[in-house]
Structure 1
Amino acid sequence: MYLIKNGTVHIGDGTVLECSDILIEGNKIIEIGVGIKREGAKVVDADNMHIFPGFIDPHSSIGALGMPTRYADNKEATSPITPELNIRYSIDPDEVNNQEFYKSGITSIGIAPDNSNIVGGQITVFKTAPMKMNKRIVKDKAALKCSVAKEVKEEYGGKKQLPMTRMGIFYLLEETLRKSKCNKQEKLNESDEIILSAFDTGKLPVFCAACTKGEITGLLHILEDKKVSLNIVDAFGFSDCIEEIKQASANIILGNINYMSQLAKHSMSLSKVNELIQNGNLIAFSNSNGGSSEGREVFIWNGIEIYRAGIEAEEVVKMMCINPAKMLGVDDRIGSIEVGKDADISIFTDHPVRSYAAKVVKSIVNGEVII
């Protein structure tokens, strides 16, 4: 049992509690308040510190890249349509361990197939601290990864195989959805069941990579009459089609905006994120770009970049905590500091969105002190 005392508690949903305590028993948060006392609890002094829920990177390839050999176990390049694949079976826990994500406050990641397939397979939400596998999986089959980005053309165009062009990508996507819908009246195979769960009933969230304005608007057009919980990944061209995104109520997971000057390359106006926030679209960000991922520091650097664009610090915190949890359908367990949720907590010396100098001094995952 741990009792964190006298810290500034950032709940993760925009709420901040000054000089507050958190009581942890087992792997759960059991009490939040002021002046909490519990005999036998190990006290963690958080005076003048900032306490956050564990951050969530909702879209990461780390854990399935096959480091250091680069076998790319997140890339099944035998067919552009592979919804039945489950990234869980490609996860290498040691690859995640070596990144020490928790040292930057990241305690969970959504491990995803890369951008090479139009329908690439299912995402697993995975905790970053080294512990037994069954303690680390927050949710298996949390979302369906798709892509209409250039990586699809790069993978299959070189093989002289459909799709070689963007029109080929959208044709195959539309045809896949049509065939699954036609098969609805018959006995469905696993592939059709997954497609219908994602694009017909909206039960399975869709994470679809689309970078440019053309890719984003094409995707929204294809899905305009579908019941789908859509999260657009990378989305560097979002500010050029803001009205279409607002109308579609699509969520955005910005890729690594610091990678190769993406802000300048796409003439991105980060301040327009505020328009989406006001409209009710969920915004998050990741350390990935083009289906591959950078190191742990990049995640917070992206948050700082968004803050510098004029977004309030606690809105950025929501993008790191509760928003990605909602996108992945795991907000019942992680994403905020609330009674009954997993005890995934990071204690910083300062506010990491406001200060580059902020450092993690204590990381707790599943109620276990990691550092």
Structure 2
Amino acid sequence: MLLIKDATIWTMEGTNYERASILIEERKIKKIGENIDVPANTKIIDATGKIVMPGCIDAHCHLGMWEDAIGFEGADGNEMTDPVTPHLRGIDAINPLDRNFEEAREGGITTVATGPGSANVLGGQFAAIKTYGDRIDHMIVKEPLAQKCAFGENPKRVYNGKKQTPMTRMATAAILRDTLYKAKRYKEKLEASKDDLSKKPPYDMKLESLLPVLRREIPLKAHAHRADDIFTAIRIKKEFNVKMTLEHCTEGHLIVDELKEEGLSAIVGPSFGERPKVELKNTTFETPGILNNAGIKVAIMTDHPVIPVQYLPMCAAFATKAGMKEEEALKAITIYPAEILEIDDRVGSIKEGKDADLVIWDGHPFDLQTRVSYTIIDGKIVYEQN
């Protein structure tokens, strides 16, 4: 057992504690309170004067897909040979021994949604994983988590360079529609055949991988920066009655009323750094706050390695500086991403029965001078400040 003693606790569950303790048993949070009976042989962390929060969650990154300081050998996030690759699984390319995982833990990041990039119209399957472990199979929270699709400049740029479709936004949308329609027909034939093998359609790995999307078991994770691309994504979502999360949503603040009416969640970022392409010209840290203030559920992301994953709290701090409410910014890197990713039954808040994924800070997490004292994943101390 492990006890975190006498801490300020921000639960993200509506109840905070000025001075309380957390008892952890067998990977789970067993009890939270001001007076906890401590079993014998319990390891105790004295967190007096420190802040305990749920582990931070990055709802969109590519951790382990583009490895640190390697270059091409470690770049496994974009299979730029075919615009339709939904059958690819991110977990087959993630290297948990990449140094960035250690840096994630040092920064208080305990769970990430990671997967393929945005070169292809359909890029493959994301997974939600913990940031501690040496074998990806033992780190998975949910897989498949989502199916990556991309609109806008990236597919155009990649395939224009190859002189093949899609070279326009029209073609990107048409390819996505065509593939989803084929997957829908494949699904209908499978269902109609029931147990009659002679009537089943020939196995198609690409179409098979889209069945969870059509069954609304997982969403399309739609890379869309510009307002018109966001609306194209929503149009296709409605046509096929699938679930969708809006990724990046860079111009979301320009169409906030429309997005509120649609009722979708937004995973916003990366908002720090230069604007290297046209569709990023309206990038601003004001976007998360504007959307959130309108009642849209927002998660803040790094898009690692665009912004190193350990700086996720810094991105939330900048969003606060640009007008987002502080409590909402904290939720945008904890409980809101957990809810958007549909893994909030396990992570995202401090609640009895949830995974013991916790971060102990020596100051406010939005203060750039603050350091992580401890990171705990599944009840195990995985980082301790020297």
Provide the TM-score with structure 1 as the length reference: 0.91
Q: Distance in 2 between matches of 1:89 and 1:204?
A: 19
Structure 1 position 280, deviation (Å):
4.5
- CA offsets, 1:128-150, max 9 Å, x none? 12455443222221111111131
Q: Which amino acid aligns with 1:7?
A: A
SS at match of 1:298: helix
Give the 3 Å change call, closer, same or farther, for CA 156–247 of structure 1 in structure 2. Answer: same
State the partner residue of 2:160: 157
Structure 1 position 12, deviation (Å):
2.6
1:180 to 179, 183, 205: 183
State the partner residue of 1:260: 274
State the partner residue of 1:60: 61
Q: Distance in 1 between matches of 2:123 and 2:186?
A: 20
Q: Distance in 2 between matches of 1:365 and 1:103?
A: 12
**2:299–2:333 CA contact under 8 A, matched in 1:** yes
State the partner residue of 1:69: 71
Indicate whether 1:36 and 2:36 are aligned.
yes
Structure 1 position 2, deviation (Å):
0.8
Say which one has the larger Rg: 2
Sequence identity of aligned pairs in percent? Answer: 30
1:83 to 79, 86, 92: 86
**2:64–2:101 CA contact under 8 A, matched in 1:** no
Indicate whether 1:361 and 2:373 are aligned.
yes
**2:268–2:287 CA contact under 8 A, matched in 1:** no
**1:103–1:363 CA contact under 8 A, matched in 2:** yes
Q: Which amino acid aligns with 1:4?
A: I
Indicate whether 1:192 and 2:198 are aligned.
no
Unmatched segments (≥5 aa) in structure 1: none
Q: Distance in 1 between matches of 2:291 and 2:113?
A: 23
SS at match of 1:178: helix
SS at match of 1:259: coil
Structure 1 position 17, deviation (Å):
2.2
State the partner residue of 1:5: 5
Q: Distance in 2 between matches of 1:13 and 1:235?
A: 26
State the partner residue of 1:129: 132
**1:61–1:293 CA contact under 8 A, matched in 2:** no
1:312 to 325, 330, 351: 325
Structure 1 position 64, deviation (Å):
1.3
Aligned pairs (5 A) from 1:1-371: 1-39=1-39, 40-67=41-68, 68-71=70-73, 72-95=75-98, 99-187=102-190, 189-198=204-213, 200-260=214-274, 266-268=281-283, 270-271=285-286, 273-274=288-289, 276-277=291-292, 280-288=295-303, 292-353=305-366, 355-370=367-382, 371=384
Q: Which amino acid aligns with 1:368?
A: K
Between 217-226 and 228-237, report the one with greater CA deviation: 217-226
Provide the TM-score with structure 2 as the length reference: 0.88
Structure 1 position 35, deviation (Å):
1.4
Structure 1 position 222, deviation (Å):
2.3
Structure 1 position 310, deviation (Å):
2.1
**Number of matched pairs:** 366
Structure 1 position 275, deviation (Å):
5.3
Q: Distance in 2 between matches of 1:150 and 1:284?
A: 23
Structure 1 position 271, deviation (Å):
4.5
**1:119–1:146 CA contact under 8 A, matched in 2:** yes
SS at match of 2:71: coil
SS at match of 2:327: helix
**2:109–2:310 CA contact under 8 A, matched in 1:** no
Structure 1 position 179, deviation (Å):
2.1
Give the 3 Å change call, closer, same or farther, for CA 220–260 of structure 1 in structure 2. Answer: same
Unmatched segments (≥5 aa) in structure 2: 191-200
Give the 3 Å change call, closer, same or farther, for CA 243–148 of structure 1 in structure 2. Answer: same
**2:56–2:109 CA contact under 8 A, matched in 1:** yes
Structure 1 position 98, deviation (Å):
5.3
Q: Distance in 2 between matches of 1:339 and 1:96?
A: 32
RMSD of aligned Cα (Å): 2.2
